Structure 1
Amino acid sequence: MSTTCIYCGEPATGRDHVPPVCLFSKPRPSNLITVPACEQHNGKQSKDDEFFRLQLCARTEAGKSPGILKHYKAIERSFRRPEASGLVEKWNEHTRIRWDTSAGGILQPRYQIRQDFQRQAMVAGRIVRGLYYHEVGEMLPLTVNALAIMDLAFDEIPSPQRETLDQIRADLFDAPHKVVSENEFSYRWIPVDEREFMSVWHLSFFESIWCLGVTNGPDTEWNFDIASGESPKRSDSQSKGTL
């Protein structure tokens, strides 16, 4: 077992759940994935993890997933904790009320949640780095990026970059489907031939929310700056949809 934190290279002091344990309702499955992590990266990322779950569970798609009620109840309990004041404040910053009269002319509030794609991508990128270690058995070098983009942000990418990613996502569905917890999290991945450390990932949360991830070095033809919301770019010499 590695004694090095896979996120920073410092000595590991424990194991970090990948994806975050808060994404799994109780009773949790026995096959949860863990990776070596230092104190900074094992537990001290919990605020980001909780915010990630909060934003996913607030989406309409998540409400269709069996068992989501358990997450709603867990979130309600977390809001009541005295130490959760920062989380509540951040949540309020991302929530606004729109008044709607579509229900028979009766004025009713509709809550709209602003999705923080950059913060979500940071957590999802950490999940990709952890899954890489789990699948390959080796730590992804710190010089290699592990980036991700959520499905809603994916729609904002202009063509032809989005067409390329659509093809890659389609190719991923030929890869084995690995289920960690039914209705909560599963993933697929493909290593990219002849490109050391490069891989592409499809993460699925609550069945209908998805994320596309990639691992690649700064000197590759890919510039997958999706965490910042910019579109990914590849050189003209790389044919469309080729992995």
Structure 2
Amino acid sequence: MSRKKTNIEKEIRALKKRLAKKQSRKRKVRIVARSVISKSKTVIFDPCAICGVREATTRDHVPPKAIFPQPRPTMITVPACSECNNGASDFDDLFKVYLSMQATGKSEIATRLFKERTVRTLQRNKSLLAKIKAESKSLLVENTEGESEEKLGVLWDSEAHDHVVERTIRGLYYHHSKKVLANDAELKVQWLKSIPEEIESILELLTEQVIGDDQVRYKYYIAPEDPRHSVWLFDFYGAHYTSGYTEPTDS
């Protein structure tokens, strides 16, 4: 192995450790199934990129199309089973609501997402609106001029957040590697207030992708020697940051 590759692997391992200190949630891996044995005959099928178990019969958007207002940018889709695809819509809707509330005002597109999609969702879903109001509180934050100003703080739905981010990572992993995440790997998701300063020096080691007009930026690295190791950083609308990484279960 070259010295350059060795240094990159060391930096990636250090990056995962730093991200783990921010916050981590274990996600049990799903078994990858690429064939079904029936009556001594092997039937080959394309596995779902998300669960890795069931047959892919449709395509799923990663990140979810719900977080993009019309007209949507060119989207990434991956093969998915109907259960993973259809069962994610409620989480996608919740993620859209909380993301747009956090991002509105950051850009014209983010504000349009909130006005055109989230407002209608909250008008239709009165219980969600009541939940958000009950969990919101005023906070003093420092603006770009260094002055304190009062803003409304909204508590995210953590289950919806982690579910969407995990599904997005699994889908993008498949999109870039053309393989389902191995069954002996686990995926961890972290919340970030911003991109940590301590990892900015190694961001150049990660490949960057942009979806739309800076609506979603993400950086990733999949270790070529052992693809079970990967790192993912996300910037949604320049307002919400999150990350995740994968590693062997016996690490």
What is the CA-CA distance between 1:14 and the residue it aligns to? 0.9
Q: Take 1:94 and 1:181, find their aligned partners in 2: how far apart are those partners? A: 31
What is the CA-CA distance between 1:11 and the residue it aligns to? 1.6
Percent identity reads 28
Q: Residues 230-241 of structure 1 correspond to what in structure 2 (within 5 A)?
A: none
Determine helix, strand or coil for the equivalent of 1:40.
Answer: helix
Aligned 8 A contact 1:57 1:63 in 2: no
What is the CA-CA distance between 1:77 and the residue it aligns to? 1.3
What is the CA-CA distance between 1:131 and the residue it aligns to? 0.4
Aligned equivalent of 2:72: 28
What is the CA-CA distance between 1:192 and the residue it aligns to? 3.0
Report the structure, 1 or 2, having the larger helix content.
2
Kindly report structure 1 stretches of 4+ aligned residues shifted beyond 6 Å: none
Closer, same or farther in 2 for the Cα pair 1:207/1:173, shift >3 Å? farther
Q: Take 1:52 and 1:32, find their aligned partners in 2: how far apart are those partners? A: 17
Residue type of the partner of 1:20?
A: P
Aligned 8 A contact 1:6 1:35 in 2: yes
Aligned equivalent of 1:233: none
Residue type of the partner of 2:69?
A: S
Q: Take 1:34 and 1:90, find their aligned partners in 2: how far apart are those partners? A: 32
**Could you list the runs of 5+ residues in structure 1 that have no partner in the other structure?**
99-108, 156-161, 221-243
1:198 to 229, 240, 243: 229
Aligned 8 A contact 2:207 2:221 in 1: no
Determine helix, strand or coil for the equivalent of 2:235.
Answer: strand
Aligned equivalent of 1:40: 83
Aligned equivalent of 1:14: 58
Cα deviation code 1:142-182 (max 9, x no counterpart): 44222221213x89xxxxxx88xx33x54234433211211
Determine helix, strand or coil for the equivalent of 2:108.
Answer: coil
Aligned 8 A contact 1:128 1:147 in 2: no
Residue type of the partner of 1:146?
A: L
Q: Normalised by the size of structure 2, how large is the TM-score? A: 0.68
Q: Residues 93-172 of structure 1 correspond to what in structure 2 (within 5 A)?
A: 93-96=134-137, 111-152=152-193, 166-167=198-199, 170-172=201-203
Q: Take 2:161 and 2:93, find their aligned partners in 1: how far apart are those partners? A: 11
**Could you list the runs of 5+ residues in structure 2 that have no partner in the other structure?**
1-44, 140-149
Residue type of the partner of 2:228?
A: F
Q: Take 2:176 and 2:131, find their aligned partners in 1: how far apart are those partners? A: 34
Tell me which of the two structures has the higher relative contact order, counting C-alpha pairs closer than 8 angstroms and 6 or more residues apart: 2
Aligned equivalent of 1:186: 217
* Root-mean-square deviation over aligned CA pairs: 2.7
Q: Normalised by the size of structure 1, how large is the TM-score? A: 0.70
Residue type of the partner of 1:95?
A: S
Closer, same or farther in 2 for the Cα pair 1:94/1:39, shift >3 Å? farther
Aligned 8 A contact 2:94 2:157 in 1: no
Give aligned pairs, total: 196
